[in-house]
Structure 1
Amino acid sequence: MISAEEERPRAPLAGASRRWVRLVPWAVAFVLCVALMPTTIVVLTADYGLNGGVAAGLAVAQAAPLLFAVVRPLHAWYVVFVADVAGALVLLTVDFPERLLWPFPPMELVGYVGLCLALGLRERRRTLLLVWLATAGANVALGFFAPHGSGAMELLFTILGGVALLLGGVLRERSEVQRRLAEQETISEAERGRRTLLEERARIARELHDVVAHHMSVITVQADTAEYRLDRVPPDVREEFTSIAATARESLGEMRRLLGVLRNEEARGELVPQPGLAQIGQLVEATARAGGPVEFTPCDADVPEAVGLSAYRIVQEALANVVRHAPGARTQVSLSVPEPGPQEDARLTVLIVNGPPPEPPAAPLEASGTGHGLVGMRERVRIIGGTLDTGPLPDGGFRVAARLPLTKEI
C-alpha cells in the first residue's frame, strides 16, 4: 500500500543550527511515550475492564513506537495503526459503559494525532493521502461493529488524523520553500560575487593595458628610431636596437592576447600558433645578443605540441634566470631525444647549464624574486608526466634538466 523506501523530504527542524532546537522533536516524542503508556494501561483496565496483561501489551504497542517517529514515522505508523485497530477489536470482547469512546479511546487519539503530525513533517503528499485513506477506511469499517451504535464522536480518529497530516504537510512544504529561497539567495550572492570578480578583472586589464602598453610602445618607438636620432650608430648597436624593438613588439602582442583573456574568462585568446622547438633558437639568439655567450644544440624531432610548448617555456624561463642572476655567464642549451631503453618510452631531454658570471653583479637586476619560475617549470613538467631536475653546480653555476615524454596521449 505505502512504500517505506520512498525518499522522504527533509524535516523542518533537521537542519537547525542550534542543538536544542533539533532535540525538540525527540523531547516531545519522549513525553508522549512516557505519559501515554501508563495512562493507556490504567484506562483500559479500570474504565474498560480489559485484562491487565492485554492492556499492557496494547499500551506498549501503541505508545513505544512514538519514540522512533522522529526518524522513521512511517515505520512507527505501521505498528501503531495495527495496534490501534487490534485494540478496538479487543475491546469488543469486554462489556464497557456506553459513555466511553470506541473504537479508539482518548489516549489513542492523542498518540495517533502526534504520529500523524510527525508523518506530515517527513513524508510526501502521496504517502500522507494513503495514510489518511487507510485511517478513514479502518474507522468506517469498525463502525459497523460498534457495540452501542455509531455516532459522530467515533469519526474523531479520521478527522483529527487528517487535520494533523494536513498541518504537518503545510509546515513541511513551507520549510522547504524557505530552504529553497535561502539556497537561491546563496546562489545569487555567488553570482554577484562572480560578476564583481569579472568587473575587477576587466578593470585590472584596462589598467595594465594603459600602463604596460604605453611603456612597451615607447620602448619600441625609441628602439626603432635610435639609428635616425643618434649620429654614427655602429652596425652592432643598430642590430641591438632592432632586436630590442622586435622583442618589445612581440611582448606587446602577447600581453594584449593575455589581457583579452583577462577581460573575458570565456575567451580563449587569439588562435595563433603556440611556440615550440623551432622557436627556441630565437630565444637563444636573443640571449646571446644581450651579452651572454650561449651554445645551442637543436633537435629536429617531431614532438607533440604540448611537449614543444613546455620545452620552449622551460628554456625561456631558464635563460631569463641566467640574464637576471648570472649576466654574461656562459650557457649551454641542449635538446635531444636519446635512444630509449627496452622498458622505457621515448623522451625529449631539455638541458640548460650556465656557469658563474664573469664578474659578480654589483646589484641584481631584480631586487627580489618571486620564486614562481621554478614552480612554473615543475608544474608544466608534472602535467605532461615528465621529470625535472634543478640545482646549483659546484663552480657557482646552475643546471636545469627536464625529461618530457613523447607519448601521443599527451
Structure 2
Amino acid sequence: MLGRLWDWWRRKRLLVDAVFMAPLLLLVALSSTAANTIRPEAYVAWNLALCLPLILRRTYPRGVFAFVALLSFVQCAVNIAPLPGNIAVLMGIYTLAADQPRIWGLAGVAVGELGAVLATLRYPEGRGDIKMTLVMLSIVVWSVWILGTYISTRRAYTRSVEERAERLERERDNEVQMAMAAERARIARELHDVVAHNVSVIVVQADGASYAIETDTARAKEALEAISATGRQALAEMRRLLGVLREGGDAGPYAPQPGVDQLGDLVEQVRASGLPLDFEVTGAPRRMSDGRQLTIYRIVQEGLTNALKHGGPRAAARVRLHYGDEAVEVRITDDGRGAAATNDGRGHGLAGMRERAAVYGGTVEAGPRQGGGFEVIARIPAREEVRA
C-alpha cells in the first residue's frame, strides 16, 4: 500500500513541487513589510512572482531558475530590500544541481555567488561587516549546491543498483530456463534411446514371426508375445519420461512446438529483454516439416540467447532468414564482445545447434567476427532429397 502511494506521489510532479513551495508562501504571509520601502501590495506581488514559478521548477528547471535569478537582479538594481521570496533562487540552484547535468549546477552556483556579492555590496545593512556577510551568504549558496549534487549522485547510484538487480534477475531467469532445457534435452535423449532399442527389438521379433508363422507356430507365438511385452514396456517408459518432461512446463503439457511463424514473437521477447535486434526475411517462404521449423526456431533462439549472455551491455544483434532453392540459411550476428567474451565452459549451445542441424543434414558455422562481435550461420536443407 505504501509502495503504491509513493509511486503515485512521485508521478505527480507539479503537486509535489507545489507542496514544497507552500512553506515559502507561508513565510511570505507571516513576514512583515515594515523593513521594506515598497507598498504592501507590491511586496506581495513581488514575492508571488518569485515563488509561483517554483511549481514548474522540475518541469522547466533552467527556465525557472533563469526567471527568478533575473527577477532578483532587477530587484537589486531598483534597490528593493531582500524578500522571503528570494529563497526561490536557492531552490533553483538545488534543482539544477540535483536534476540537471553537472555543468548546469555549476552555472547555477556561479549565478548564486554573483548574487551574494551584489547583495552584500548593495544593501546598507551588510556594510557593518561586509566580509562576514559575504562569507555567510557564500556558505549558504555552496551548501545548497553541495546538497543538490549529493542527491544527484545518490539517485544515480540507486538507479545503477536497480538496473544491476534487474539485469541479474533476467540472467538468473535465463540460466534457469537454460538448465531446464538442458535437463529436458537429456531426458529426450533417454527417450530416444528407449524408443530406438525397443522398436529395434519389435522389428526383429516381427521379422522372425513372419518367417515362422507357417512352419513353426509355437515360435511365431513366442515372437508375438515378445513383441507385446516389449511394446508395453516401451509405452510405460515413454509415459514415465514424458511425464517428467511435462512437469513444471510453462507452456503446459499440450502446447504446440514453435516454428518459423513464431520467430516474430521470439524477436519481440528478446527486444523486450533490452537487446536491440533487427530481423529480416528474404526469399520465398516454403512449406517445411514441423521438425525443420522447430530446428530453425531453436537455432535462432540459442543464437540470441548467446548474444544476450555474452554480447555485453551495448551489443545489438541481427537475424537474417533466407529461403533458398534447396536450403534455408539462418544468420545471427551481433556486434558485442566477440572473441573477448568470457566462457565458463558450461554452455552447450553451439553443440546443440550442430546436433539439431545434423539431424536434417544441415551445418552450423559459428565464431567471432572480424572487427568484433559473433556470428552463427546455419544451413538447413529444405527437403529430404537435398540433404547434405
TM-score range, shorter chain: 0.3 to 0.5
Bigger Rg, structure 1 or 2: 1
Greater share of helix: 2
TM-score (normalised: structure 1): 0.44
**Greater relative contact order structure (CA < 8 Å, 6+ sep):** 1
Instruction: Give the alignment's TM-score, normalised by structure 2.
Output: 0.46
